[in-house]
Amino acid sequence: MNRMGRKDARIAVSGIAEGIESIRAELVRAIEKAGRAPAEVELVAVSKGHDAEKVRAAIETGQLLFGESKVQEARAKIPMLPSQSRWHFIGHLQKNKVRHALPLFELIHSVDSLELAKEIDRVGTDEGCFPRVLLQVNVAGEASKYGFDGQALIASMEQLLQLSRLSIEGLMTIPPLTESAEKSRVYFIQLRSLRDELEKTFGIKLPQLSMGMSGDFLVAVEEGATLVRVGTAIFGERSRKIIV
């Protein structure tokens, strides 16, 4: 119960149950308002920067799907938690961490280069598994962000589809940070349009759209998100250090 006393930990834990239930309620309302079915959108509770006790509190409310963005932190945290929990990787994945990441995560949202895709395919072949992935798109072309440029992704798609171990299930994006959720909408529409174009051009199915975070997940749902990644609105502010 690192650094926290028992009482503080209990307070943190009760806050999480409330946080998660209110986010779930908001999410369901938004899904219904958008004329979609609740089963079409899954909540990824982003637990990076929060300790295993907080995740356990979320699991007790019935939340089983979590997102982590650092392999080192996840390798320490995940084994401490009940085996029915499910994990998605959402951060920048270094090639030398792929081997550690694959057994921990059922889906990698953040394949941001052809080189990384090739490495995941190679490790998948070695390990006899078929990694499920999303391709991360840098929709606004920000220098500070990882991800494929939209046009570059179209150009690389043929090569990506030749990686026979990879199960490419959709696209993911992190739009520029803005003060208003409404400003993210244009980027969510861009991601969905790129998905539609890829499906049409290559005759493939890319059903997953991972978009929307604490500040803008309701808008993302309106624009077709199938996975929303919500951290702060559930768990509160996080520690910037790697935490278990």
Q: How far apart are CA 39 and CA 36, in angstroms?
A: 9
Single residue of 27, 41, 48, 77 touching ligand PLP by CB under 6 A = 48
Residue 231 as a binder of ligand PLP (CB under 6 A): the answer is yes
> What x/- string results for residues 100 through 129 when contact with ligand PLP is judged by CB under 6 A?
------------------------------
Contact pick of 90, 102, 111, 114 for ligand PLP (by CB under 6 A): 90
Closer Cβ to ligand PLP, 37 or 93, answer by number: 93
Query: Of 94 and 130, which has the nearer Cβ to ligand PLP?
Result: 94
Smallest distance from the beta carbon of 99 to ligand PLP, in angstroms? 22
Q: What gap in Å lies between CA 12 and CA 6, rounded to an integer?
A: 10
Q: Is 213 in the site for ligand PLP (CB under 6 A)?
A: yes
Q: Which H or E element spans position 227?
A: strand 227-230
Which range of residues in 79-87, 97-105, 187-195, 225-233 is near ligand PLP by CB under 6 A?
A: 225-233
Angle, CA of 97, 111 and 227, to the nearest 5°: 115
Residues 161-190 that bind ligand PLP (CB under 6 A): 174
Q: By three-state DSSP, how is residue 42 classified?
A: strand
Q: Which residues of 163-200 are buried (b: 16+ CB within 10 A; e: fewer)?
A: bebbebbbbbbbbeeeeebeebbebbebbbebbeebee
Q: Return d(Cα 238, Cα 72) in angstroms, integer.
A: 16
Under the rule (CB under 6 A), what is the footprint of ligand PLP?
46, 48, 69, 90-91, 174, 213-214, 229-233
